[in-house]
Amino acid sequence: MLLLGPINVLNDLLLKTGLSAETVNYFVWPLIQIGIVVTLVALWVAYATYLERKISAFMQARLGPMRVGPWGLLQPIADGLKLLTKEDFIPENADRWIFFFAPYIAVASAFIVFSVIPFGPDWAVIADVNIGLLLVLAVSSVGVLALILAGWSSNSKYALLGGLRSSAQMVSYEVAMGLSLIGALMFARTLSLSGIVGAQGSDSIWYIVYQPAGFLLFLISGIAENNRAPFDLPEAESELVAGFHTEYSGMRWSLFFMAEYAAMVVVSAVATTVYLGGWYFPFVYRLEASGHHNLYVIVSLLVFLVKASIILYVYFWLRWTLPRFRYDQLMDIGWKWLIPSALINIVLSGVAVFVVQALNYSGKVKTIEHLDRGLNMTAAGKGIVFGIGVIGLFATAVLLARINWRSRDFNLRVQRRNIKLVNLPKGKPAVQTES
C-alpha cells in the first residue's frame, strides 16, 4: 500500500493549488508523464549504445568498454560529453537549413512515437489514442525523410548515395511493415495499442502464436526501416564512408545516432505490444485483484521492458552475425518476398477468423467466447488459428520459393552458369584482350 501513496498525494496537492480537475488530468499529468518518458527513454537509448558495444564485444571474444566507470558503465555519458564539445562542421555549399534540421526531424519522429506506446496499464501510458498503431506507422516513417534530407543537403556524393538508398529502402519496406500488422489487428479488433494489449490479455495469449508470419515480417521490415545491419545500406561503412551522415559531426551526428537507437526501441516496443502481449504477463491481473494497483503497474512496466529488451538483443545479435545485403538482394527481399507474403498473411488471417466464426455460428463447435475485448476464443478456436498460422507460414514460404525461383537471376553464380559465349570459334579457348 506504500506504493499507492505518493501518486495520490501528488494528485491532491495539484488539486489544492487551484487548478481544475480537468487541467490536472489532461495537462499537468501528461506533462509529468512526458518528462519521465523522455528522460527514461533517452537513458535507455544511451545504454542501448553501451549494450550494443558490450554485446558486439562479447560476440567477438572481446571485453568492450571497460575503463570509464565500473565495467565501462559511464561510457555513454563520456561519449555524450565528448560529442557535445566537438566542432559542429557544415560543409561548403551545403543546404544549411535542411542540414540543420534533418537531425531534429529524425529525433522528433523517433520520440513522438513514445507518446502512444503503452509501457504499462493505467498511468504508464501517455495518450491512449484509438488510432495508435496508425500514428506509430505514420510518424516513424517520417524518420526516413530525415535521412533523405540529410543525404541531399550535405553536398557530398557519399551522403547523397546514402539518402538515395534510404529512399529506395523505405519504398520497399514500409508497405510490408504496414501490411504485416493487419493480421494481428483482425484478432485485436482495434487500432489502439492499449486495446491490442488488453485483447491479448483477455484472450490470455500472445499474438505471435496466431501470427508467426506476421511477427517475422514485422521484425524484418522493422530492422530494414531502422537501417540496421543486415539492411544498413544507407550508412554502409565499407561502401559509403558513413552514408547519409558522412558530413555530420558533433552533436548533430549524435542526434542521428540517438534517433537510430530510439527508432530501434520504438520498433521493439511496437513488436512487443502487438505480438508479444505488451505488458501482459500471466498472473499479472492477480496483483490488480489483490489491491496493489501501483505495484501491478510497475510489474507490468518491468515485463514490458524485459520483452522489448529481448527484441533489442535480437537486433544486436542479427547485426553481429549477418553480413550486409547487396542492393539488389534488398529490393528482391522487399518486393518479391515480404510484400507478397504479407498479403498472403492477411488472406490467411481472414480465412482463420472466418473459419472460427463459421464454426461458432453454425453451432457445432463453440470457438468464440466473447467479442468484448478483441476476439476471445476457446481452446478449440485457438488451436484452429494456431494451426492455420503455422501451416500458413510454411505454405507461404514454399509458394514464394516456387514463384521466386527466377529471383536467382540476380545470383551471380547462376548468372555465370548461364553466360553464353557468342561468336567464338569452337575448340579455341578465349583469349584475354590487352586493355
Residue ranges in contact with other proteins by CB under 8 A: 55, 57-63, 66, 317-318, 320-322, 397-398, 401, 413-414, 416-421
- What does the alpha-carbon distance between residue 57 and residue 32 come to, in Å, rounded to a whole number? 37
Burial status of residue 84 (CB atoms within 10 A of its CB: 0-12, 13-18, 19 or more): exposed
Output 55 or 196, the one with its CB closest to other proteins: 55
Output 27 or 58, the one with its CB closest to other proteins: 58
In the three-class reduction of DSSP (H, G, I as helix; E, B as strand; rest coil), residue 377 is classed as strand
Evaluate whether 284 touches 296 at the Cβ level (below 8 Å).
yes
Output 152 or 316, the one with its CB closest to other proteins: 316
Phi, psi of 2 (to 5 degrees): -60, -35
Output 99 or 215, the one with its CB closest to other proteins: 215
* Cell of residue 380, nine digits: 478449440
- What does the alpha-carbon distance between residue 170 and residue 370 come to, in Å, rounded to a whole number? 39
- To the nearest whole angstrom, how small is the minimum distance from the Cβ of residue 267 to other proteins? 19
- To the nearest whole angstrom, how small is the minimum distance from the Cβ of residue 168 to other proteins? 24
Which of 60, 312, 372 has its CA nearest to residue 189? 372
Output 46 or 55, the one with its CB closest to other proteins: 55
- To the nearest whole angstrom, how small is the minimum distance from the Cβ of residue 405 to other proteins? 11
Beta partners for residue 370, in sequence order: 376
- To the nearest whole angstrom, how small is the minimum distance from the Cβ of residue 71 to other proteins? 12
- To the nearest whole angstrom, how small is the minimum distance from the Cβ of residue 9 to other proteins? 42
Q: In this structure, what DSSP letter does residue 211 have?
A: -
Output 135 or 393, the one with its CB closest to other proteins: 393
Which of 411-415's residues contact partners 24+ apart within 8 Å by CB, and which partners?
A: none
Output 74 or 318, the one with its CB closest to other proteins: 318
Beta partners for residue 368, in sequence order: 377
- To the nearest whole angstrom, how small is the minimum distance from the Cβ of residue 417 to other proteins? 5
The CA angle 355-361-363, to the nearest 5 degrees, is 110
- To the nearest whole angstrom, how small is the minimum distance from the Cβ of residue 57 to other proteins? 8
Evaluate whether 237 touches 244 at the Cβ level (below 8 Å).
no
Q: In this structure, what DSSP letter does residue 72 have?
A: G
